Amino acid sequence: MNRVQQARVIFMFITINLLCVNITFAEPNSTFSKGREYYEKRGDIVWEVPTANKKLIALTFDDGPDPIRTPKILELLKQYEAKATFFVVGNRAEKLPDIVKRAQQEGHEIGNHSYSHPTFRQASIQGLRSELDRTQEIIYKATGHKPTLYRPPGGSYNELAVNICKENELLMILWSWDQDTKDWTSPGVGKIVNKVLKNVHNGDIILMHDYVYKSSQTVEALAKILPELKRRGYSFVTVSELLKNKDSNSDKHMKVTN
């Protein structure tokens, strides 16, 4: 085999290995990733919950806890008798266990949102397991309970992530596609409010953030969203409570975008 042939063999070997890496860590919209319908039918990932005529919605807050925003959100939730689910980041929960404990004691649900909020392309299999395990232990230490729900950073998922969730007896939770408020971009209080109010449906899972650098307008928007949705007859429940009210016979249109 001459040098040219050797070079071609080496090039092909590198190309095949790179393809394997991309398949393993495929992002949600990658051609190597299975679509929403596949995971939804298997019950591996939840985007929203058909509740028929029950006017229930789940407010979710990511990336906290935060020493400023989270307590303000908790006060608003208490004022409007609303329950929510907080997907906490382990290294922040580790520093603020009292806030996590308070949320749990006030009837809210605590979910796992990884330890350091990594991207899939930066994490090994063992790294992903460690991210989940460390956060589970931190939340357990703060509340006495281990989460049963997991939300991947950035909403990224693939078969690897789904399988690791199953190993840890965690259900992956995303959000209704038309209920991503994008509050972390500070789009304006009015835009956050309108995003929720104009698109709300029974069984929606609404995405917001309670971490200060990602939610400068969230508290003000929530103060407008809560009373209006309550006036419309909606009740605010945790994601697990929403799942308990799932109507298996519902023909609710699923907003699939994949």
Residue 81 gets the label, from left (phi > 0), alpha (psi -120 to 50) or beta, of: left
Q: Please state, rounded to an integer, the average pLDDT across all residues of the chain.
A: 87
How much is the pLDDT for 35? 86
Helix, strand, or coil here: 244?
A: helix
- The answer on pLDDT for 247 being more than 70 is yes
How much is the pLDDT for 120? 63
- The answer on pLDDT for 221 being more than 50 is yes
Domain 45-244, classified CATH 3.20.20.370, yes or no: yes
- The answer on pLDDT for 3 being more than 70 is no
Query: Is residue 168 within 8 Å of residue 196, measured between CB atoms?
Result: no
- The answer on pLDDT for 62 being more than 50 is yes
Catalytic residues: 62, 209
How much is the pLDDT for 242? 98
Residue 158 neighbours by CB under 8 Å, 6+ apart:
24, 25, 26, 27, 28, 30, 32, 33, 120
How much is the pLDDT for 212? 77
Residue 107 gets the label, from left (phi > 0), alpha (psi -120 to 50) or beta, of: left
Higher pLDDT, 214 or 158: 158
Ranges of beta strands (E only) in 33-167 are 45-46, 56-62, 84-88, 109-112, 149-150
Measured distance CA(40)–CA(147) in Å, rounded = 21
Q: What is the pLDDT of residues 43-54, one digit of tens each?
A: 999 999 999 999
Q: What is the pLDDT of residues 118-175, one digit of tens each?
A: 876 667 889 899 999 999 999 999 999 999 999 999 999 988 889 999 999 999 999 9
